[in-house]
Amino acid sequence: MFKAFIGKRSKGVENIVERGAVKKFAEAIGDLHPIYVDIEFGKKSRYKQNIAPPTFPRVLDYGMIEDFYLPNVGLIHGEQSFHYERPLLVGEKITCYTEIKDYYEKKGNHGFMGFLVVSDVGEDENGHVIFKSNAVVIITEEVRKVLTV
C-alpha cells in the first residue's frame, strides 16, 4: 500500500525553537525543569542557554511528502524513539523534514495491519543533524479499507 513511498521525503521546513513554545510544552508534559524555562539557569548551564525538552520535536513542522496521505483518525502510534547529537537550543533555527523509511504488513485478528516507519530529522543552519526521531504508525484494516477506495 505504501511501499512506493519508501525513501521519499518532504522538503525541509524552517522552524524556530521558540522560548514560549518550549515553556508551554514543558508545562504540558509537567516538567518545568529550569534548564527549559529559567533564563538565568540556562546561562549558567553547560549549554549557556535554555534547551528544549527531549520530546519537543513532536511539535515541529516537517512538511508534507508529495502525494502522501494518512487520515487524522484511526491510526495507532506504535512506538517512537529520539536520538540526539546535541540538545535543541532555545532560539535556534532548524530545518526539519520527514522521510518514509519502511512499510510492511502483518496479519492480525481483524485483518491486515500496515506498519509505516517514519523518520523525522532536524538539522542546524549548517546542515548538521541535531536529532532524528523514528516512529512506527500502525494502520488498521479499517483505515486500510478507506485508503484503498
* Residue corresponding to grid cell 505504501: 2
Question: Domain locations in the chain?
Answer: 3-16+61-147
pTM of the model: 0.88
CATH number of 3-16+61-147: 3.10.129.10
Instruction: Write the pLDDT tens digit of every residue in 13-70.
Output: 999 999 999 999 999 999 999 999 999 999 999 999 999 999 999 999 999 999 998 8
Instruction: Write the pLDDT tens digit of every residue in 95-147.
Output: 999 999 999 999 978 778 899 999 999 999 999 999 999 999 999 887 777 77
